[in-house]
Amino acid sequence: MRISRRRFLSTAAAGAVGTIALPYLSRAADRPQIAHGVQSGDVNASGGVVWSRADRPSQMLVEVSTTDSFKNVRALPPIDALPESDFTAKMLIENLPAGQDIFYRVKFRDLAHTGVTSEPVTGRFRTAPAGRRDVSFVWGGDVAGQGWGINPDDGGMFTFKTMRKYNPDFFLHSGDTIYADGPIQSEVKLADGKLWKNVTIEEKAKVAETLAEFRAAHKYNFLDDNLRAFNAEVPIFVQWDDHEVMNNWSSSKEIPAVYKERNIELLAARAARAFHEMYPMRESIVEPGRVYRTINYGPHLDVFMLDERSYRGPNGPNLQTTYGPASYFIGPDQLAWLKRELLASRATWKVIASDMPISLLVYDDAPNKKGSEAIAQGDGPPRGRELEIVDLLRFIKTAGIANTVWLTADVHYAAAHYYNPDKAQFQDFDPFWEFVSGPLHAGTFGPAELDNTFGPEVKFVKAPGADHQNLSPLEGMQFFGHVKIDGATGQMTVTLRDRADTNLWSTTLDPKAG
């Protein structure tokens, strides 16, 4: 149900009646503290999720308003923040007016002394429009990877500061939100002899194995001033990839010798719990812990968030010519869901948020170029995991679903791919675009080999080249994408940028009638 701004304010005013100012204790240490800022996420036309974390058992108190003065405020029921969730709490705020700037204020109150609260921290988000106004968002992935952590001498995670300048409606995080398998050392010696100096915490000195260590990997990122400021102003639509657990994980993963815990399923379960605790996602009551979901962001945009980890078959050769469990990538249930959601969508643009590209070869055993980590299986007719893409692309064409765009990250460079059926081995699909960005703050790699099965044409690529891999953020090759949809025309402009905000490449797509 949508609610008007007038009705929201009247409801807020009624809810504020009887609120009593509570005294603070004189010493800050005696009061709960907000440890890692605030976040919002999964925002649609009528609501969104607000997240924060305390430093002790407490209750999260949230107030919302349509003005930054909080003159008319709506107080929401308290949410417990307990050790079981690492003192995190998140609240779904509903019945908000569409197309409205929403300001929220978070504080935590002591469980034993309910009059004792933390200092408040404020944030904001903008609900999706009911009408055809402009929509703007940024996307990317890959944060704190390859040992490149928070370096104050380099300005910290600088790309988040650059993205924040666009005042985007939301941020689509394409995965590798952390590198649980990537320790952060205090110093890294660069090729020119200089030192990269990281902020460090004890838990990031080794690979993550315990639940506490997976949680700490997420909390490490929130130590960055740029990231916390970004989180307070820009809602996140988040998905996960491999490094939330470990590199290239699947059920067949051979766990490296540095791990004491040898059970990949247990490691994945701990990683998943930490991931869901640390981000403001709308949680599924049908399948607790589910990542894939649809986010409707007004008449011009629906975003379909995929999970290409939880349901995949083992990372192996994947050369099957008939579809079955060994060739699952998103799996039959998620594939059926995606078809239903695409068919039901009335939005101008259907953005498919994929944590891995379709046609870039990513090997499970990279040094020996063996095994399949991603979708692509090499040149030739469809095999293995490519069979799901065949099914999906054929369905999109047959059902007459127009204006699908794929956004992804994972490979640590920027690219634009146009899929042309006239140049493909499998040709029963309509042309479409796939845009690649990242890393946001990690080592830069690439470019990867391209698979011709679906006829991709490289329209742009910015990568370091084979002789210059794992470049540090100091080299400036940190990338993000920016999308703007014109409210009047429905045109989508996609721009690939670097952390210095250089416009590397851009294209404007005209919507087609569906």
The pLDDT value recorded for residue 463 is 98
Residue 38 CA, distance from chain mean position: 16
Residue 484 within any structural domain of the chain? yes
The pLDDT value recorded for residue 19 is 36
Q: Are 141 and 409 in contact (CB under 8 A)?
A: yes
Question: What are the pLDDT digits (tens) for 387-419?
Answer: 999 999 999 999 999 999 999 999 999 999 999
The pLDDT value recorded for residue 6 is 46
Residue 371 CA, distance from chain mean position: 26
φ, ψ for residue 58 (rounded to 5)?
-170, -175
Q: Could you tell me which residues are beta bridge partners of residue 268?
A: none
Q: Are 420 and 361 in contact (CB under 8 A)?
A: no
Are 141 and 115 contained in the same domain?
A: no
**Alpha helix positions (H), 71-172:** 158-164
The pLDDT value recorded for residue 12 is 44
The CATH code of the domain that includes 462 is 3.60.21.70
The pLDDT value recorded for residue 28 is 65
The pLDDT value recorded for residue 24 is 45
Please compute, for residue 127, the number of CA atoms within 13 A of its CA located in the half-sphere on the CB side: 26
Given 3-state DSSP classes, what are the helix, strand and coil percentages for the chain, each rounded to the nearest 5? 20, 25, 50
The CATH code of the domain that includes 78 is 2.60.40.380
- Which pTM does this prediction carry? 0.94
The number of folded domains in the chain is 2
Please compute, for residue 323, the number of CA atoms within 13 A of its CA located in the half-sphere on the CB side: 16
Are 78 and 160 contained in the same domain?
A: no
Q: Could you tell me which residues are beta bridge partners of residue 88?
A: 53
Are 76 and 201 contained in the same domain?
A: no
**Sequence-separated contacts (24+) of 79-87 with Cβ below 8 Å:** 81/53, 81/54, 81/57, 81/108, 82/57, 83/57, 85/277, 86/53, 86/212, 86/215, 86/274, 86/277, 87/35, 87/53, 87/54, 87/55, 87/56, 87/57, 87/58
Q: Domain boundary at 97, 126, 155, which?
A: 126
The pLDDT value recorded for residue 14 is 40
The pLDDT value recorded for residue 18 is 36
**Alpha helix positions (H), 185-224:** 211-221
Strands (E), 282-385: 293-296, 301-305, 349-353, 363-365, 370-372
Where do we find the tokens 């990031």? 204
Are 208 and 92 contained in the same domain?
A: no
Query: Where in the sequence is the domain holding 320, given as residue range(s)?
Result: 135-509
The helices-and-strands tally (H runs, E runs) of the chain is: 7, 25
Are 114 and 245 contained in the same domain?
A: no
Are 339 and 422 contained in the same domain?
A: yes
The pLDDT value recorded for residue 367 is 86
Residue 294 within any structural domain of the chain? yes
Q: Is the dihedral of CA 21, 25, 31, 34 positive or negative?
A: positive
Q: Domain boundary at 92, 126, 160, which?
A: 126
The pLDDT value recorded for residue 513 is 86
The pLDDT value recorded for residue 27 is 63
Question: Which residues lie closer than 8 Å to 138 by C-beta, 6 or more apart?
Answer: 163, 166, 168, 171, 172, 234, 480, 481, 482, 483
Are 175 and 145 contained in the same domain?
A: yes
Are 119 and 207 contained in the same domain?
A: no
The pLDDT value recorded for residue 3 is 47
Q: Domain boundary at 108, 126, 144, which?
A: 126
Residue 171 within any structural domain of the chain? yes
Are 143 and 112 contained in the same domain?
A: no
Integer Cα distance of 81 and 493 in angstroms: 41
Are 108 and 174 contained in the same domain?
A: no
Which helix (H) or strand (E) covers residue 270, if one does?
helix 264-278
Where do we find the tokens 């569409």? 98
Are 120 and 140 contained in the same domain?
A: no
Integer Cα distance of 67 and 73 in angstroms: 9
Are 190 and 331 contained in the same domain?
A: yes
Residue 514 within any structural domain of the chain? no
Per-residue pLDDT of the chain (514 residues; tens, 9 = 90+): 344 544 444 444 444 333 334 444 446 678 999 989 999 999 999 999 999 999 999 999 999 999 999 999 999 999 999 999 999 999 999 999 999 999 999 999 999 999 999 999 999 999 999 999 999 999 999 999 999 999 999 999 999 999 999 999 999 999 999 999 999 999 999 989 999 999 999 999 999 999 999 999 999 999 999 999 999 999 999 999 999 999 999 999 999 999 999 999 999 999 999 999 999 999 999 999 999 999 999 999 999 999 999 999 999 998 999 999 999 999 999 999 999 999 999 999 999 999 999 999 999 988 888 889 999 999 999 999 999 999 999 999 999 999 999 999 999 999 999 999 999 999 999 999 999 999 999 999 999 999 999 999 999 999 998 889 999 999 999 999 999 999 999 999 999 999 999 999 999 999 998 6
